[in-house]
Amino acid sequence: MHKKNSKRRWIIITVIVLVLTNAASLFIGSNYLLSPNGSVSVDNNTYNEIMKFKKLFAIRDELYKYYDGKIDDNALVTGAIKGMTSALNDPYTVYMDQQETKDFNSQIQGEEYVGLGMQVEAKDNKVVVVTAFDDSPAQKAGIKSGDAIVKVNGTDVTGKDLDKAVAMMKGKAGTSVKVTIYRAGKGTFDITATRQSIVMNTVTGEMLSNNIGYIQMSMFDENTGANFNKKMAELKAQGMKALILDLRDNPGGLLTACVDVTSNFVPKDKTIVSMIDKNNSKEVYKSKGGDYIGMPLVVLVNENTASASEIFSGAIRDYKLGTLVGVKTFGKGIVQNVFDTGNGTQLKVTISKYYTPNGENIHHKGIKPDIEIKYPDNLKNLPYDRDTDPQFKKALEIIKSKVK
């Protein structure tokens, strides 16, 4: 995902907002719009585009005539814009209000937030739990990877409502939130958890035996690149000669952070990822070079390894720089940009498809690992134990054979 601020306004949105504040001021004809500040002349194409939305204005007037309750024009405008993005049926294209924008930015910037401490993603039009952080309210309440969140405090949520669901689960420390869960084999049930401060630490690691390093990366936020380099330097100082990088349940994040991490292993100026937008414009991101090119590497992936994690995995696979172990990845081969839409709001929109160095778009397909090993279902409901994890054990076996 790109993160980019822009002060551009779409003229259609601007005029809609203007007219919604005074619907009676709309004058149809001669390509003029009469606003409270005077008439505005528009060209034929723009005028015709605006007139497609006249039903929206008519509905607003009917609400003012007949609705027996309080009407907030700002709420109507927000609802109309959210409706437009929702109609695209793309869970990654969303309009975020002020609170949703604040929550979204706190996550990608790696800031502390108050919530339940879990990662979720949109999958099959459901809000699905990727992972519950260790010792988090979510984990303590019994929420597990693979659970589908169907309601938050009684409000239905689907994959289209991903950002809304995340915002609803955040709040003040010490307050509770009721989450309705659907779990395969158990059905639907309620869980109540108490919000607490969550400090995001996306990079953790340690030295194993035989000079093998192990790093787990939970997502790519603004601090991930620097924290990854710091952890790699620590492990190298302890004698690391090979690395197991665990990207299981990593939903992705910032493209810039992904390029920083991937550059550690890909020779300088080699393509890491390329993106092509709707106008067939191509943008290529190349390796900056790093200190660990040629280091033996095994990457653990699973069905929740997505987006930026798949960009990393695709580069490692295409250049044959390491071994992928696990199961086929999620399959998110599209990129989003974030635009500033004023007053503390933002629009996150899918802008392009991305391609691995070999030119493959993995959207809805995923990346098949070099060695496929499934994590047993009977272990998913038990506390994690590395000694019984067949994917980790295979990764360790492979990396040991590469250490000289």
The 10s digit of each residue's pLDDT in 228-268 is: 999 999 999 999 999 999 999 999 999 999 999 999 999 99
Active-site residue 274, yes or no? no
Distances (CA, A) of 119 to 6, 113, 149, 200: 28, 13, 12, 11
Paired residues of 94 in beta bridges: 348
What is the value of pTM for the model shown? 0.79
**The pLDDT value given to residue 2:** 63
User: What tens digit of pLDDT does each residue of 8-58 get?
Assistant: 334 344 444 444 444 434 444 455 555 555 555 667 787 777 778 888 889
377, 144 contact by CB (below 8 A): no
Which residues are within 8 A (CB) of 347 and not within 5 positions of it... i.e. 6 or more apart? 85, 94, 95, 96, 338, 339, 341
**The pLDDT value given to residue 35:** 52
User: What tens digit of pLDDT does each residue of 176-208 get?
Assistant: 999 999 998 899 999 999 999 887 789 999 999
Which overall architecture, per CATH, does domain 112-198 show? Roll (2.30)
Nearest to 307 by CA among 372, 242, 358, 352: 352
Nearest to 167 by CA among 122, 228, 102, 232: 102
Give the active site residue among 163, 260, 318, 389: 318
Give the active site residue among 3, 123, 164, 332: 332
Delimit the domains of the chain by residue range.
11-71, 112-198, 203-402
Tokens coding 279: 């106008």
CA angle, residues 132, 136, 140, in degrees to nearest 5: 90
User: What tens digit of pLDDT does each residue of 365-374 get?
Assistant: 999 999 999 9
Cα 58 to its chain centre, rounded Å, is 36
Burial class (CB in 10 A: 0-12, 13-18, 19+), 209: exposed
User: What tens digit of pLDDT does each residue of 52-78 get?
Assistant: 888 888 999 999 999 999 999 999 999
Paired residues of 301 in beta bridges: 326
**The pLDDT value given to residue 124:** 86
Q: Does residue 114 register a pLDDT over 60? A: yes
Give the active site residue among 136, 145, 274, 307: 307
Active-site residue 318, yes or no? yes
Low-confidence winner among 22-31, 205-214, 395-404 (lowest mean pLDDT): 22-31
128, 121 contact by CB (below 8 A): yes
Q: Per-residue DSSP letters for 211-267? A: TEEEEEE--B-TTHHHHHHHHHHHHHHTT--EEEEE-TT---B-HHHHHHHHTTTSP
Q: Per-residue DSSP letters for 285-301? A: EE----S-TT--EEEEE
Cβ count within 10 A of residue 90:
15
- pLDDT average, residue stretch 291-305: 97
Q: Which residue has the tokens 């039009």?
A: 125
Q: Which residue has the tokens 């002020």?
A: 98
Active-site residue 313, yes or no? no
Cβ count within 10 A of residue 59:
13
287, 262 contact by CB (below 8 A): yes
**The pLDDT value given to residue 42:** 63
Cα–Cα distance, 91 to 350 (Å, whole number): 9
Rg (CA), the chain: 24
**The pLDDT value given to residue 247:** 98
116, 130 contact by CB (below 8 A): no
Q: Which residue has the tokens 């019994």?
A: 142
What fold is seen in the domain 203-402?
A: 2-enoyl-CoA Hydratase; Chain A, domain 1 (3.90.226)
Q: What percent of the chain has pLDDT over 90?
A: 69
Nearest to 329 by CA among 354, 300, 298: 300
Distances (CA, A) of 22 to 49, 61, 181, 191, 198: 19, 9, 43, 45, 44
Q: What percent of the chain has pLDDT over 70?
A: 89
